[in-house]
Chain A
């Protein structure tokens, strides 16, 4: 199909449809521009003013070289050919947008002046690179003509520009090298994936091992206290650590007393008392420091059982610290603790734990019946486990 490219064919097209928009002036949305301009033409027609709009390619006609004069000349030629009264708006890619009136009560000069003010107002609000194309200028001309004062306020101009395809906002199409640069090399995603995976693997492993270590011995992670403005950092109070011989002596004394009471008792003595006594007697002369401490615990528990008292419970972290004063929660486990150890746990400082015989770690981290029972602080059947072990 060929666009109308003579004055005669343009006039003929306008006779059928008062709005003729060629693709080259359609702002990339020719049908939309046509329909919107048709609406404005109908608005004018409702006011009794017929209007004709031709946004067309430069036709084969004898036109002046000046763009201004060429537009006016073409408009006049189209009107002569069409022969209808009305408001005429004509533009080509080579001319300015011309306006004229024929036999209607509107002054073309006033409309044109109103157009310049309105287009200037519209341009003032546009970002760099955007402009009002011929289609927008035609819309402005029709709107000015429809206004009683033949002028548009800046607000009316804004509303008009927002109401249809009247602004050319084309932008720059990215060049292929720009797209290539943005995409980067095809292997770059692999670089990202490997780098992220390696970091996550190594750092994740280290964090997970720390978490495991923390869960296995929650108090094994010491914290430094925040420095106070004055004075040195406070240190948690550490309970006195009795020598093993002192503990052994203390255990023997308790055992001797318990033996005397058991042997002299006129009442039947329970298995728990006998078991505690015998287990303690088996352990008290041991070379193992832990076993001596266990003897002390068992002797004390046997005496308590014999008297029918509540079972005495010593500090989980080191029974030598003395009886339980508080319970502390470590890794969701409630543990009996002496005052100093409870204070240490609360301060997130490792309590002074009884260590394994090699002194390398807290006894409760070893795989032993002492760890399993918390040296009797968690499990009252320590005597039974000792007896089974002896068998």
Chain B
């Protein structure tokens, strides 16, 4: 094996290692930038467990006065018939139940349920939230207020969800797809190379060596 071939093999090996390091650096960056998830309390966990067991409607033990069992059963039937997955959680409003606000609770529900769908959280007349974690946009007119009779309003919301559809997921890509990502990587790398060589040269100067390394590019 000539020196040139050996160097080429080593350089390719280095490139492979660097590619892995690049993936690691990206993962590290994502870790650093990703906000810490909150701790899931028992209230959200019970609702998520019920959804995981196949229920579409979960009524907490303190909320049967809000949505009686027969109403919950009717709502369950309605939600089960929806093509767009919909989950309804009902509980009494509280500041001491393991989450900061209603949006935090519904966010936790989506995270723990680990399932795509529309999530409705109802905490009493006038208080509730509809949110979804669908891949595509929810196309439909979903009521956003929770005023009026709980069963009637929740039924209207679930009916609206059932009448809606999930639009196509956006295929927009910041990098313009795989080819664009490769081109961007080459561009960034191309900019970084002279900078790195300049740094190496400056370090060599600082160490009392010549700016240029011996040998050449061939």
Contact across chains for A194 and B7 when beta carbons are under 8 A apart:
no
Residues in chain A near residue B52, CB distance under 8 A: none
Contact across chains for B38 and A173 when beta carbons are under 8 A apart:
yes
B73 close to chain A: CB less than 8 A? no
Residues in chain A near residue B35, CB distance under 8 A: 172, 174, 178-179, 182
Contact across chains for A172 and B181 when beta carbons are under 8 A apart:
no
Given contacts A28-B97, A171-B36, A173-B108, contact A23 B23 (CB under 8 A): no
Contact across chains for A25 and B96 when beta carbons are under 8 A apart:
yes
**Cα–Cα, bound, A220→B214 (Å):** 7
Least CB distance, A126 to chain B, in whole angstroms: 14
Pick the contact of A173: B61, B95, B99 (CB < 8 A).
B99
Residues in chain A near residue B127, CB distance under 8 A: none
- Mark A76-117 against chain B: 1 for CB-CB distance below 8 A, else 0: 000000000000000001000000000000000000000000
Contact across chains for B19 and A197 when beta carbons are under 8 A apart:
yes
B216 close to chain A: CB less than 8 A? yes
Residues in chain A near residue B208, CB distance under 8 A: 223-226
B202 close to chain A: CB less than 8 A? no
Count of A-B contacts judged by CB separation below 8 Å: 263
- Mark B5-24 against chain A: 1 for CB-CB distance below 8 A, else 0: 01110111011111111110
Beta-carbon nearest neighbor of A56 in chain B: B62
Pick the contact of B60: A24, A181, A194, A223 (CB < 8 A).
A24
Pick the contact of B26: A60, A188, A207 (CB < 8 A).
A188
Residue pairs across A and B with Cβ atoms less than 8 A apart, 14 shown, are A3-B62, A28-B99, A168-B95, A176-B110, A182-B35, A187-B174, A194-B181, A195-B186, A197-B15, A197-B19, A197-B22, A199-B196, A203-B197, A209-B215
Least CB distance, B173 to chain A, in whole angstroms: 6
Query: Footprint of A on B, CB under 8 Å?
Result: 3-4, 6-8, 10-12, 14-23, 25-27, 30, 33-44, 46, 60-62, 64-65, 91-100, 103-105, 107-108, 110-111, 133, 173-175, 177-178, 180-182, 184-186, 188-190, 192-193, 196-197, 200, 208-210, 213-218
Given contacts A27-B96, A192-B22, A220-B214, contact A179 B34 (CB under 8 A): yes
Pick the contact of A29: B12, B42, B173 (CB < 8 A).
B42
Pick the contact of B94: A93, A191, A199 (CB < 8 A).
A93
Contact across chains for B216 and A171 when beta carbons are under 8 A apart:
no
Residues in chain A near residue B10, CB distance under 8 A: 204, 208
Least CB distance, B35 to chain A, in whole angstroms: 4
Contact across chains for A183 and B34 when beta carbons are under 8 A apart:
yes
Contact across chains for B181 and A190 when beta carbons are under 8 A apart:
yes
Contact across chains for B214 and A57 when beta carbons are under 8 A apart:
no
Quick one: which of A2-59 are within 8 Å of B by CB? 2-3, 5, 22-31, 57
